[in-house]
Structure 1
Amino acid sequence: MSVLGDEARRFTWRARRRRRILLWIAAALAALVAFVAVAVYSPIMSVREIVVFGAERVDKAQVDASLADLNGQPLALVTNEDVETRLQSYVLVQSYSIRVEPPSRLVVTIVERSPIGTVQVPAGYDVMDAAGVVLWTQPEPAADIPTLELDGQGVDSEAFASAAAVSLALPVEFRSGVAAVTAKSIDDVRLTMRSGAEVVWGSAEESDRKAEVLAALVAATAEQSISSYDVSSPETPVTR
């Protein structure tokens, strides 16, 4: 047997082996693609349940209705953009997140805007969040959030930014006891409690600390007749 013949047979064997390997790889890839396609587009992996969390002020029934047409869509192909187009008209929705739970559940978690004050307008009172977004308008001042008195300045002013920052720093339960936040300038913010007591706040700086000190003072003097609190220097507060 010639050396040339042996070499030809080895070359032919190697070529057949490479072809078999390539065929195996191609078959494996085709099987993987088919598996993914079946998994993604199978009715079993389609949206059949939409669960919404975090809807308190926004009408949950309306949100459910807005998302309803996602039912039947491939679960793996539902995107943030799909949900955004259906929720962008809800002013109360600040942000949201989605989570897929195979085989068929889509979970949408909503974060609502937090109302921190009302501003008087010709139509009544605009209820706003800290960014100045009007959440809704009502005819009377709110009973559980303060009125922001801005000395004639608008929501794009430093006065509004200061008043909003102060109101936002107040714990929700405590904020309901504040009738008004008055901001004549960025350094002159005052609160009027529903009890009638006045609070000298000063600037919006250290608002978290001032809110903590004020809440402690109000709790400690609950049985006393206090007309004013001064937390403009939170480490040396004054009551009268």
Structure 2
Amino acid sequence: MSATPQRGKRYSDPRRAARPRPASVRGRRPAGRRRVAKLRRLLRPWVLMSVVTVLVGLGYLLYYTGLFAVREVRIDGLKALSAEEIRTAANVPEGTPLLQVDTAEVAARIGAVPRVFTVNVERSFPGSLVVTVDERTPVGVFNGAEGPQLVDGTGRAYATVPKPPDGLPVVKVRSAAPDDPAAKAAVDVLAAVPDKLKPEVLEVAAEVPGDVRLQLIGGREVRWGSTADSGRKAQVLEPLLGRPGKIFNISSPDLPTVV
């Protein structure tokens, strides 16, 4: 008696399922899919060439043509300097493609201007070069051979002026330069003086970096000494000046003296 398949379940002949499919049937793909795959293989190099062409053309437009060229040099942060001085130092001809502008070289040229402390140069598409200048801030005046010179917080004499500005103390050192230890010590002490007392400072003198002295209004002298413990010395100085005397020695802040 032959087996009767159960109702509700699909029956398949196990002998038929075990027969292998012909190779021609297994490897066959619909004709439409074959055509699409072939078209993709043909188009792929053309698409790649098109992308490369577009990129090369864009690079040519940016680097060689006047489409994105310098039309203005915008300058920010000026105080004493003029925009024309900075543009002259920058030396970037109008019409130069922005990508051909070496911003580091332009910054170096502008940085050579004595009053410039720091400078930043950036491209701003489609046609601007943006220059941000931070000018040196004077903290004192050095009486040089050419006349009064402004001195900044690094100890550098950077600009000769016809008349010393009001409120700036005289920096009395052998040479006003950042590599002179005495000059650097003098301006560091000026920076450490409490803001309330700075208007009273008429002169800061330093023959050697370990012997900085301040001349104050009223004929008073502060013997600061070296720059060591300047924070502590500044704290001691203000109440000490309330005592009667002419010479206030805070070179040893834990043992200050008044004479």
Q: Same fold (TM over 0.5)?
A: yes
Contact 1:99 1:107 in 2 (8 A): yes
Contact 2:142 2:176 in 1 (8 A): no
Q: Which amino acid aligns with 1:33?
A: V
From 145, 158, 169, the counterpart of 1:135: 158
1:126 equivalent to 2:159? Answer no
Instruction: Tell me which residue corresponds to 2:32.
Output: none
How far the C-alpha of 1:25 sits from its partner, in A, is 0.9
Distance in 2 of aligned mates of 1:78 and 1:24:
33
How far the C-alpha of 1:107 sits from its partner, in A, is 1.5
Distance in 2 of aligned mates of 1:149 and 1:234:
24
Distance in 2 of aligned mates of 1:173 and 1:36:
59
SS at match of 2:138: coil
From 109, 119, 130, the counterpart of 1:107: 130
Distance in 2 of aligned mates of 1:174 and 1:61:
38
How far the C-alpha of 1:42 sits from its partner, in A, is 5.5
Contact 2:91 2:106 in 1 (8 A): no
1:54 equivalent to 2:58? Answer no
Alpha-carbon RMSD across the aligned residues, in angstroms, is: 4.2
Identical aligned pairs, as a percentage? 27
Distance in 1 of aligned mates of 2:119 and 2:176:
29
Bigger drift between 202-211 and 160-169 goes to 202-211
Write the mapping of 1:39-78 to structure 2, written as runs, cut at 5 A: 39-40=62-63, 43-67=66-90, 69-78=92-101
Q: Which amino acid aligns with 1:163?
A: A
How many correspondences in the alignment? Answer: 230
Instruction: Tell me which residue corresponds to 1:26.
Output: 49
From 61, 75, 79, the counterpart of 2:102: 79
CA deviations on 1:162-181 (whole Å, 9 max, x unpaired) are 11322244578964542111
How far the C-alpha of 1:191 sits from its partner, in A, is 1.0
From 185, 209, 224, the counterpart of 1:201: 224
| Bigger-Rg structure (1/2) | 2
How far the C-alpha of 1:61 sits from its partner, in A, is 3.3
Gaps of 5+ in 1: 7-12
SS at match of 1:161: helix
Gaps of 5+ in 2: 1-23, 29-35
Contact 1:165 1:204 in 2 (8 A): yes
How far the C-alpha of 1:125 sits from its partner, in A, is 3.1
CA deviations on 1:26-85 (whole Å, 9 max, x unpaired) are 111111222343355564532223221222122333224444744322234322234236
**TM superposition score normalised by structure 1:** 0.69
Instruction: Tell me which residue corresponds to 1:9.
Output: none
Distance 1:113 1:233, change over 3 A: same
